Chain A
């Protein structure tokens, strides 16, 4: 009794606090984390997101987002969407999908991984970073919700297996093949092509370690002004795609594949035969179907029916016995 009497004011106070927090969050939220066309990402601003879908015969999809942001936000805007596991929640990236690729189908498919428990270390989405100027990937030490990409950095998600040290199962592309090379934003104005921006986060959402100070932007006038896609990559010296499952973090220097200078707005570089890099423009969210309530009603009535039978049997037994 006493507990409930005390509990009510406490609950209402908490609710009020929560509401204020929502209101504060709504007003004080910075205009951060917008999906951007690829050309808006430069060597010093914006964060590039790359997702390797080659396990399902797809390309490496590349997108751009503004900073500050979290790895999770970057992966959930502009048509991108992830699914967590039932056990670990949305913070564990179990499936990734992009509404502009195969109708937003998320990979791995439910037949491959049911995403109930934590996926095995032999087949999961591993998270790699390359800060500006870095020529090699580093395995993320933080989850997607805690990591904050630096301006000008690249975030890469590849599917497969790794070991704990991150020396096995490294990406086969180099950061240079994926990062933005233009020093000035190109394309349209700062307005994103789509307003499909992630909604404001609920109050008190995880604040991970603060990112380091962003590198000061120094736009150079001599930069070539190309159209939307970034300019063709210059071959990365001494950093060709490593062999599959290479245990050494620095592959031996071999002639790197000549960068394709295709004029096509997509398909920029060919890191390995069969894997293309395609720019994924900000797109609208893939629709979500909440499903039908008929199965739930059917199931509930079945349960009630059997439960009723059990009660009936129990009553009769009590009468007889």
Chain B
């Protein structure tokens, strides 16, 4: 970061232009972690809109490209493949459940195979276990799972691209009250990835049993223990530096902050419920959401007022950050506006079997999000910089 800090004019002269880095001509620095998080969450929002396997695979390809092009050499930045494994597991579980809990087959469907049927009594006739499985059912289960898998990979990309410890610094001051919980929540996934790598390396050195259930136990327990322990150690370290302290706050102001935050969270939950459930009364939707948001902001303001923070080496927010955030947000907006394409193309059906279409505007939107891989400054290539970073 020191490099980026000292040569401000050089960095600002290399704005959002999608010029690829040629032999390090563009100044290498780390993008602001919040920019990567906003970008990834926008892409996840866009993904939630579509069930089209072509678009979903395109999102996966774009994520893969951006991660390989812009990840650092830090330990947490090598974990994207673990998120891919997790995504694959999600798809597999979805497909297996669809096959076991049969959803019915019609004469028009393509019969694949038949599982042994477990008879259920008449009063339980709504749920069928086993029975014939159609190609259509498996395909729609797979695309359904693929959508969730894509969203998981978006979060994985954010965890891989953004430095989790620097992301902690931008949390509002009021959240200091929740110090340990927030630290563990944000850093546990990257820590898990690091732990998996360390345990795997240790096992390789020992050359012990590397397959089967026993090996799994030998990996899972130390990994979970290690990840949680390291998160707690981080939280303790931050605590000793004043993080999570009430500071100069009086009892009354702390209570007021707590009440505002709790009420605000309740409002947000009720609002989300009202928006998702069509039968809920109208006041539960947007009004509750807005009221909750206002209360939360007020609580954060009130809580943040008394916490004074100084920043050592702040993360800069430059045009490249704006461009990355913009590419993500624009792609999400494009997928929600239904402009220039038929919304049915976003959710093709497999009943009856039909080739999915590739609508132009959503494709362009996803490619635009992928442009973040070119817009963002290249990561530092050499070890010395990385050392200064982690210090």
Enumerate chain A interface residues (CB-CB to B < 8 A).
Answer: 14-15, 18, 21, 72, 76, 83-84, 86-92, 110-111, 114-116, 120-123, 142-143, 145-146, 161, 198-206, 208-209, 288-293, 295-296, 298-300, 302-303, 306-307, 309-311, 313-314, 317, 320-321
CA distance A114 to B143 in the complex (A): 15
Within 8 A of A (CB), among B107-166: 107-109, 111, 113-114, 117, 122, 125-126, 128, 131-132, 134, 136-137, 140, 143-144
Query: In the bound complex, do residue B355 and residue A291 qualify as a contact, i.e. CB atoms below 8 Å apart?
Result: yes
Q: Which residues of A contact B132 (CB under 8 A)?
A: 202-205
Within 8 A of A (CB), among B362-391: 363, 367, 370, 381-382
Residue in A14, A86, A288, A290 whose CB lies within 8 Å of B140: A86
Q: Which residues of A contact B57 (CB under 8 A)?
A: 299-300, 303
Query: In the bound complex, do residue A18 and residue B113 qualify as a contact, i.e. CB atoms below 8 Å apart?
Result: yes
Which 6 pairs across A and B sit closest by C-beta, in order of nearness? Answer: A89-B103, A110-B344, A91-B104, A299-B54, A295-B358, A291-B355
Which A-chain residue is minimally distant from B140 (CB atoms)? A86
CA distance A123 to B109 in the complex (A): 26
Which B-chain residue is minimally distant from A111 (CB atoms)? B343
Query: In the bound complex, do residue A290 and residue B113 qualify as a contact, i.e. CB atoms below 8 Å apart?
Result: no
Report B125 CB to chain A, min CB distance, Å: 5
Q: Which residues of A contact B60 (CB under 8 A)?
A: 303
What count of chain B residues pass the 8 Å CB interface test?
62
Name the prevailing secondary structure of the A interface residues: loop
Within 8 A of A (CB), among B80-126: 98, 102-109, 111, 113-114, 117, 122, 125-126
Query: In the bound complex, do residue B61 and residue A302 qualify as a contact, i.e. CB atoms below 8 Å apart?
Result: yes
Q: Given A86-B144, A203-B132, A295-B358, do A116 and B278 touch, yes or no (CB 8 Å)?
A: no
Determine whether B40 belongs to the interface, using a CB cutoff of 8 Å to chain A: no
Query: In the bound complex, do residue B355 and residue A296 qualify as a contact, i.e. CB atoms below 8 Å apart?
Result: yes
Residue in A202, A296, A310 whose CB lies within 8 Å of B69: A310
Which B-chain residue is minimally distant from A122 (CB atoms)? B278
Stretch at the interface among B213-221, B253-261, B323-331, B345-353: B345-353
Which A-chain residue is minimally distant from B132 (CB atoms)? A202
Query: In the bound complex, do residue B144 and residue A208 qualify as a contact, i.e. CB atoms below 8 Å apart?
Result: no
CA distance A67 to B6 in the complex (A): 84
CA distance A299 to B355 in the complex (A): 12
Report A62 CB to chain B, min CB distance, Å: 22
CA distance A300 to B358 in the complex (A): 10
12 contacts between A and B (CB under 8 A): A86-B143, A89-B140, A89-B351, A116-B144, A116-B347, A142-B126, A202-B132, A299-B363, A302-B58, A307-B65, A310-B67, A317-B68
Q: Given A143-B126, A306-B58, do A206 and B278 touch, yes or no (CB 8 Å)?
A: no
Residue in A84, A202, A307, A317 whose CB lies within 8 Å of B107: A202
Q: Given A291-B355, A313-B68, A314-B68, do A302 and B363 touch, yes or no (CB 8 Å)?
A: yes
Determine whether B193 belongs to the interface, using a CB cutoff of 8 Å to chain A: no
Query: In the bound complex, do residue B279 and residue A122 qualify as a contact, i.e. CB atoms below 8 Å apart?
Result: yes
Determine whether B319 belongs to the interface, using a CB cutoff of 8 Å to chain A: no
CA distance A305 to B221 in the complex (A): 40
Q: Which residues of B contact A122 (CB under 8 A)?
A: 278-279
Determine whether B356 belongs to the interface, using a CB cutoff of 8 Å to chain A: yes
Which A-chain residue is minimally distant from B117 (CB atoms)? A204
Q: Given A291-B355, A306-B62, do A88 and B108 touch, yes or no (CB 8 Å)?
A: no
Q: Which residues of B contact A303 (CB under 8 A)?
A: 57-58, 60-61
Q: Among the interface residues A83, A114, A145, which one has the most CB atoms of the partner chain B within 10 A?
A: A114
Query: In the bound complex, do residue A299 and residue B58 qualify as a contact, i.e. CB atoms below 8 Å apart?
Result: yes
CA distance A290 to B354 in the complex (A): 4
CA distance A208 to B64 in the complex (A): 47
CA distance A309 to B67 in the complex (A): 12
Q: Which residues of B contact A300 (CB under 8 A)?
A: 54, 57
Q: Given A290-B355, A309-B65, do A114 and B105 touch, yes or no (CB 8 Å)?
A: no
Query: In the bound complex, do residue A310 and residue B61 qualify as a contact, i.e. CB atoms below 8 Å apart?
Result: yes
CA distance A64 to B324 in the complex (A): 60
